[in-house]
Amino acid sequence: MKTNLRKNSKAIIILVIIAAFLFVAARGMSGRDVLITVLRGFSTGSVTFLVAAGFSLIFGLLDVLNLAQGTLYMIGAYVGWTVYVRPDTFIDVLTPVLLILAGFSLSALWGRLASRIQLAPKARKIISWLLILAGFGLLALVLTRYPIAIWNLNNYSESPITYSYMADQGLRIIPAEVTFEKISPFLALAGLLVSSAISAFGIALLNRDESRSQTINWRKFLVPALLLLGGILAVVFNAQITSWMYAMSTNWLFVIAILIAILSGVGLGALMETTLIRPLYNRPIYQLMLTLGLGTIGLQIVQAVWGRPEFVWPKPEFFTGTGGACPATNLADLLEYNCSTVFLLGGRVRVYDEIFIPIVGIIVLIVVWILLKRSRIGMIIRAGVQDRQMVEALGINVRRVFTLVFALGVGLATFGGALAAPSTGLTPVMGERLLLSALIALAIGGLTSFPGAALGSLLVGLIQQFMIKYGQIGIPLPFTDAVFKPSPPLVPASTVLLMVIVLLILPGGLLGSKE
């Protein structure tokens, strides 16, 4: 109890120092600048928080440092952008993705079957790998023939940059539809399903020991059946859904894009955890190398599919109004004219970047907090962080909770990417920078503490934005006439400095536990 108090007093001292520092920093600015800088700090902090919170959830329960989190953040942005700017591509891709998932989600059934097959260990290994290779080979064969309307990186007028520019100008070009030419629709669908089922069976056979005695009931078939149905519906009504999405208001399209980005993260997370992370639970170094490697692979794939250059994600209608009483001075005007900016304390504040993003960040904070503190799954997570074996000894399937948490953590990262992209634009390197910020934020706040992730992210966001602002207006150095303008590289450096100070005083971070 006493040490607890002492620890808290240290954290309070640090917070007071930071507050004083921010106060002094704010003294050099006009009230308008302070407001905008603080709002931007909240904005940067919110996005950092989404990635950091996912990282912290995953690390807390699974002890896995998911260094791919930055790449996944970027993937969220690119997936969201595609849904928003090229709905036709999204609908075309939807069918293969759903069918492949359907094939893989039969793994429970495969596990049951695989445990019945008696083979010598060596033969089992060879056969599993042959099946996996055959499955993926067949998948590649089908996928290359599957018709997907996509941009062309080699032709500037059909590149993502052009499409995003056009969409930004309010021009919606509906590209020509592609049709099944190289392969018959039935063959394509069956091929996708069968090939993914074959590789899923191979994987189940390889991990045979882990999947004994799982009971089979109709519920296990519900998810694959729904996925299959969704995939078939998407291909049958392809044209209708596409034209419906093109006709939709950009606000709804934006909501759909964000949801798909989150879902893609959840799916990727579940896939990563069940196939790649699970065999490595007791080998931290391998996990580290795996997630780092996956991050790099993801980056290369994104560069190969979307190209290297930066492009923009046009904001939805709700945040782009300029006519009427814009910039708005009150809430009624803002809502009526959908202003892109508002006047606050005499300064112009961008609604999406500086108001909407922080609000979403706070909402996510509250929702995840409630999930952790009030729900049964949150209770299991909090208990599992401390003692997995005991939770399992109570009859709870911890492994399923692990998959869920990993999926949720990755979903938060892709959510962050899709949320930030309309404000920051898309570039393949956006993830690396953010991963660094998120890691620093976690070190400051405490690696496994959820409120710590929020506090650390906020501090990192504020410090970055104040440094950027002072880079513009300069700090007059005392006793001299010189004005010091922090150069851009000092922005990340300043957060590292804060981290060093905090860790020297409190090795566990501001709100972290002592271990």
Partner 1 sequence: MSNILEVKNIHSFINQFHILQDVDFVVPKGSITALLGRNGAGKTTTLKSILGLASVREGKVIFEGREVQGMPPFEIAALGIGFVPEHRAIFRDLSVEENLKIAERNKGDLDRKRTFIFDLFPDLKKFLNLRGTELSGGQQQMLAIARALVADNSLLLIDEPSEGLAPVIIEHMIDAIRQLSEQSTVVLVEQNFLVASKLAKYFVIIEEGKSVASGLMKDLEADKAMIHRYLGAA
CB 193 within 8 A of CB 146: no
Min dist. Cβ of residue 61 to partner 1 (A):
12
In the set 187, 225, 394, 505, which binds partner 1 (CB under 8 A)? 394
In the set 98, 398, 462, 506, which binds partner 1 (CB under 8 A)? 398
CA dihedral (289, 291, 293, 296) in degrees, to 10, reads: -140
Query: Should residue 220 be labelled a site residue for partner 1 when binding is judged by CB under 8 A?
Result: no
Short-list 437, 341, 422, CA closest to 45: 437
CB 72 within 8 A of CB 417: yes
443 three-state secondary structure: helix
Compute the distance between CA of residue 434 and CA of residue 431 in angstroms, rounded to an integer. 5
In the set 288, 325, 379, 436, which binds partner 1 (CB under 8 A)? 379
In the set 6, 172, 212, 485, which binds partner 1 (CB under 8 A)? 212
- 159 vs 448, beta carbon nearer partner 1: 448
The DSSP-derived string for 190-233 is HHHHHHHHHHHHHHHHHTGGGGTT----THHHHHHHHHHHHHHH
Query: Should residue 399 be labelled a site residue for partner 1 when binding is judged by CB under 8 A?
Result: yes
Only segment of 104-112, 310-318, 343-351, 374-382 that touches partner 1 (CB under 8 A): 374-382
Only segment of 94-102, 165-173, 348-356, 373-381 that touches partner 1 (CB under 8 A): 373-381
- 26 vs 396, beta carbon nearer partner 1: 396
Only segment of 183-191, 196-204, 397-405, 406-414 that touches partner 1 (CB under 8 A): 397-405
Min dist. Cβ of residue 389 to partner 1 (A):
6
DSSP single-letter state for residue 66: -
Query: Should residue 383 be labelled a site residue for partner 1 when binding is judged by CB under 8 A?
Result: yes
Compute the distance between CA of residue 466 and CA of residue 231 in angstroms, rounded to an integer. 48
Min dist. Cβ of residue 213 to partner 1 (A):
5
In the set 216, 236, 390, 496, which binds partner 1 (CB under 8 A)? 390
Site for partner 1 in 322-341 (CB under 8 A): none
In the set 162, 392, 436, 492, which binds partner 1 (CB under 8 A)? 392
The number of residues making up the chain comes to 515
Min dist. Cβ of residue 215 to partner 1 (A):
9
Query: Should residue 193 be labelled a site residue for partner 1 when binding is judged by CB under 8 A?
Result: no
Min dist. Cβ of residue 13 to partner 1 (A):
25
Only segment of 198-206, 223-231, 321-329, 391-399 that touches partner 1 (CB under 8 A): 391-399
DSSP single-letter state for residue 281: T
CB 294 within 8 A of CB 272: yes
CA 255-258-259 angle, 5° bins: 85
Query: Should residue 395 be labelled a site residue for partner 1 when binding is judged by CB under 8 A?
Result: yes
- 109 vs 420, beta carbon nearer partner 1: 109
Please name every residue paired with 483 in a beta bridge, in sequence order, or none if there are none: 476
Number of residues counted as binding partner 1 (CB under 8 A)? 22
**Across the chain, how many H-helices and E-strands are there?**
21, 4
In the set 9, 296, 397, 487, which binds partner 1 (CB under 8 A)? 397
476 three-state secondary structure: strand
Min dist. Cβ of residue 126 to partner 1 (A):
24
Query: Should residue 382 be labelled a site residue for partner 1 when binding is judged by CB under 8 A?
Result: yes
Residues 6+ apart with CB under 8 A from 480: none
- 316 vs 445, beta carbon nearer partner 1: 445
3-state secondary structure 332-393: HHHHHHCECEEEECCEEEEHHHHHHHHHHHHHHHHHHHHHHHHCHHHHHHHHHHHCHHHHHH
- Scanning 395-489, the segments in alpha helix (DSSP H) are 398-424, 430-445, 450-473
Min dist. Cβ of residue 305 to partner 1 (A):
39
Point out which residues bind partner 1 (CB under 8 A): 210, 212-213, 376, 379-380, 382-383, 385-387, 389-399
